[in-house]
Chain A
Amino acid sequence: MTETFVPPLLPKSFGGGVDPVSRAAAERRKEEWNAAVESVKAQSFWIETGKRFLRNRTGVVAAAIVVALALSAIFAPLISPYDPLIGQPVDRLKDIGTPGHILGTDEQGRDMLSRILFGGRLSLLAGFVPTVAAAVIGTLIGVIAGMVRGVVGTVLMRFMDMLYAFPAILLAIAVGSALGPGLTNTIIAVTIVYIPPVARVAQSSTRRVVVQEFIEAARLSGASRARIAWSQILPNVLNDIIVYASGLVGVAMIIAASLSFLGLGSAPPAPEWGYMLNSLRGELFTTPLVTIVPGFFIFLTSVAFNLASDALREAMDSRL
């Protein structure tokens, strides 16, 4: 099919005839029509979703917070009051609200606000990249495994089991020794940790969807597997995936913190929030407020991501 296909407005008849040639043409027109309807459905679904999302006030606010966090991270060099890496020992552990240090100072006497701003660059990456990467890869694997039964599906899911059982710490150490210390290790390790559970959630909801009537209907109408996956299964599966994965953004930052606890992950003095939280843990009972600052920003990011994703999920659910 070389020419651009314009779906006819009224599909009452695909034409016909008694001769095999015109019958074949009519048959072809029917197929083209069906495909076009599917494609319009799929397109309008995503557009509608966008419209509905914008009507959700909480979702918009949450998305705005995410954007604000991202912008403040991007423009950190312009708005930071101090160098995030240099501190004065005499200024260490100043409490929140200290003049000149609105968020206090850390155990090295560095300005917390500046570190939070600069740290946002690393932490947003640490939270976002593994989640998105794993969501994409995991969903792909899960949907395939859920749709294609038999050897392929089985092998995929058993491979996921294998990955699951794999010690993330060993992975972080191995990646770290190959790439040198830094946040990249954390991101790679967390991505690999995230793929199997996402795949499993995706596979499970795919299976749930696959057996429902409308899929059967789509299949009978001659839609291809890929088309069914895109227009019927994915929207349904994404519902579950978005709920699951949006919670993972915060967790990814937490894992980054946990890896620092074990001496893996970010290399100092990088002001990544998880690393900051970890290195302040000893001061929890000396200057509790300052200690909690990086934790609060992880929380804020996590909440914003989740609320935004809740809104997205609801927007996608046309039944609501």
Chain B
Amino acid sequence: MALPFDRRIDRRALLAGGLATAAVAGVGLTACGPTNSGSQSDASATGGTLSIAMSAANIPFPSTPPNQGYEGYRFVGNNIYDALTRLNLDQDKTLPVPHPSLAEKWDVSEDLKTWTFTLRKGVTFHDGTAFNADAVIFQLDRLKNEKFKYFSETDAANGATQVRYIDKYEAVDDSTVKITCTQPYAWLHWDLLHVYMPSPAVIKKVGNDKYNAHATGTGPFKMTKYVDGETMELTRYDKWWPGPVKLDKIVLYPQPEAASRLSMLQSGQVNWAEVPTPDSIDQLKADGDQIFMHKYPHGIMPRFNLFRKPFKGNTKLRQALNYALDRDGCAALINNVGYGAKQYVYEGHPDYAPNNPGYSYDVAKAKQLLSESGYQPGELTITMGYTTGGSGNMFPDVMMQKLQADFKAIGVATKLVPMEWTVLISIGLDGLNSDKWKNLDILWASPAAGMTPTGYNSTFMSKRPGGQANATGLDDPVIDKNLTLAPQQKEEKDQHAYLQKMMDQAVSQAYFLFWMHDLNLRVMSADVKNFVEPQSWWVDFSKITVSGS
């Protein structure tokens, strides 16, 4: 039903035609023709306005760090702010890794404990104040130093992971910062991707509580409008240090409902929609829209409860269930916007264990392993908790019903326990050994599997930071050893070698249900140009243009 004219109908133009006329005229809307607002005519000259329907339920708040998970980093954080490092998101060939950003370069001491960052000179915040070593120290103090006047309890809590291995930090001179880690740690530049640099002048002026309304960074876009719950407008910052981006503006809308995002795109209100309904792909293609799908570090990898029977110490049972999964069938149910997983990370990821085939769909083998594991068909009922919502969870309802049918086919009954996203996160914090959750046998998990090497820790290590047991009771000395040694290697190649060994062990022991990888479905109207879909949750906006009519 695509109409052969510019999709971006200006609402005023519509109105000028009059509601009644529009309603009567129906398709005669073409009469409204191209749009007339000022920004439109500018659009052809420069980069245009990119309007995005996000899948988050709200506009992520622009704090440091933002909320709404990686969607907040993707659309808000990375656009308003720079960090010391930034991923090379402008390509889709390899997994993006940290590159210099506000830090021009860095040196790491031989023991991998001391990092010395040389800061870029001449960078200014959106409010005109200069970025320098003091600004870096200011932000680290906000996150680490409880006695600091501008210490932010909430930002510190939210961003604790990213400064966990930082012990001491000091400004050597105006453009040099030295950070000492608590232990040999080769991944600090990965952590620092997430540590955005806000303008100290603004925070001193408005305070932490009111900061979100005045978010100011050094990034490619300035926040020019922010209505919580409704919209955010980001306007190009002409003095961005690598040179200005092409786009004039990005407008963000939150819309958790896929069908609504689709309508937003079709009506021309946005030209970029995250995860539309999978079955709409054919129609969208026919309409001339651009469909993007690409492998990236995101999968559904449910975790077994390893604190107790039946899964504790029963590798064969865990393997049986992995063999029972009809992954291609599951992919078909979601119109192939995801694909079956062989391992925790996708094939082609640097941490993918090269010589481990993973688990195929093999009902006979699954049945055999089930009986070898000590259970006959019909004897076992497992309880699985999963979330019904939250962006970045693929399609839980459809997938869980398929899983239930798959397990039933080998004689294992599954009780599905749908739960809210908040509850699922709470379980991750409490652990499956807590009284409240110990009835669960398997727990849904949708990790950003392998986006950063630092992300494995809380899922794979036997002990979580602070000494608590792993949330699902995973406790494997081989995994612990390899994951401990990896960040102590100077060379990336060696780091990956250890991580591959870790993966190999996790797959062989079937500590997870290696189930589905996501393909990051998104759709854009034809006028969006130069978008590259990287192997990442984040994207690069700097080269995108939106052609005018």
Contact = CB atoms under 8 A, between A and B. Distances in A.
Q: Quick check: do A and B touch in the complex, using CB within 8 A?
A: yes
A240 interface: no
B175 interface: no
Contact of A286 (B258, B280, B329, B404): B280
Contacts of A281: 259
Given A89-B332, A282-B279, A267 B259 contact: no
A285 B388 contact: no
Given A268-B418, A282-B258, 4 more contacts: A181-B418, A267-B417, A268-B400, A285-B280
Interface of A: 85-87, 89-90, 92-93, 107-109, 173, 180-181, 263, 267-269, 279, 281-286
B268 interface: no
B277 interface: yes
Nearest to A93: B279
A173 B421 CA distance: 13
Contacts of B389: 263
A263 B280 CA distance: 22
B160 interface: no
B416 A268 contact: yes
B283 A286 contact: yes
B530 interface: no
Interface string B342-365: 000000000000000000000000
B371 interface: no
A186 to B, nearest CB: 13
A108 B402 contact: yes
Contacts of B277: 282-283, 286
Contact of B398 (A107, A267, A285): A107
Given A263-B389, A279-B397, A282-B259, A89 B329 contact: yes
Contacts, number: 62
Nearest to B436: A177
A269 B414 CA distance: 11
Interface string B242-285: 00000000000000001100100000000000000111100100
Nearest to B329: A89
Contacts of B39: none
Q: Which of A85, A87, A90, A107 has the most CB of B within 10 A?
A: A107
Contacts of A108: 333, 398, 401-402
A92 B333 contact: yes
A109 B405 CA distance: 12
A173 B401 contact: no
Contacts of A284: 259
Nearest to A109: B333
Contacts of B400: 268
Contacts of B417: 180-181, 267
A6 B388 CA distance: 65
Contacts of A180: 417
A87 B283 CA distance: 25
Nearest to B423: A177
Given A263-B420, A283-B277, A286-B279, A90 B332 contact: yes
A58 to B, nearest CB: 36
Please report whether the interface of chain A is mostly helix, strand, loop or mixed according to DSSP.
loop
B391 to A, nearest CB: 13
Interface size classification for chain B: 20 to 34
A92 B279 CA distance: 11
Nearest to B402: A108
B401 A89 contact: no
Interface in B395-409: 397-398, 400-402, 404-405
B440 to A, nearest CB: 12
A180 to B, nearest CB: 7
B441 to A, nearest CB: 15
A175 to B, nearest CB: 14
Contact of B416 (A107, A263, A267, A286): A267
In the complex, the 4 A-B pairs of residues with the closest C-beta atoms, listed nearest first: A263-B388, A282-B277, A89-B332, A286-B279
B416 A181 contact: yes
A180 B400 CA distance: 17
B283 A285 contact: yes
Contacts of B418: 181, 263, 267-268
A89 B332 CA distance: 6
A86 B416 contact: no
A263 B259 CA distance: 16
A283 B332 contact: no
A268 B279 contact: no
A189 to B, nearest CB: 15
B336 to A, nearest CB: 11
8 contacts: A89-B330, A89-B332, A92-B332, A108-B402, A173-B420, A263-B387, A267-B417, A286-B277
Interface string B15-29: 000000000000000
A279 B417 CA distance: 17
A87 B401 CA distance: 10
B177 to A, nearest CB: 45
Contact of B401 (A93, A181, A268): A268
Nearest to B276: A282
Contacts of A92: 332-333
Nearest to A284: B259
Contacts of A85: 405
Nearest to A281: B259
Contacts of B416: 181, 267-269
Nearest to B326: A89
A120 B170 CA distance: 69
Contacts of A93: 279
Contacts of B402: 89, 108
A217 to B, nearest CB: 58
Contacts of A90: 332
Q: Which of A85, A283, A286 has the most CB of B within 10 A?
A: A286
B44 to A, nearest CB: 32
Contacts of A173: 420
Contacts of A283: 277, 279
Nearest to B331: A89
A281 B259 CA distance: 8
Nearest to B417: A181
B388 A269 contact: no
A89 B399 CA distance: 11
B156 to A, nearest CB: 30
A284 B263 CA distance: 12
A284 B400 CA distance: 21
B333 A89 contact: yes
A242 B395 CA distance: 41
Interface string B315-335: 000000000000001101100
Contacts of B283: 285-286
Contacts of A86: 405
A86 B404 CA distance: 10
A279 B262 CA distance: 16
B489 to A, nearest CB: 43
Nearest to A261: B257
B355 to A, nearest CB: 31
A281 B258 CA distance: 10
A157 B420 CA distance: 34
A273 B333 CA distance: 20
Contact of B333 (A107, A181, A263, A286): A107
Contact of A269 (B258, B259, B401): B401
A267 B417 CA distance: 7
A281 B418 CA distance: 19
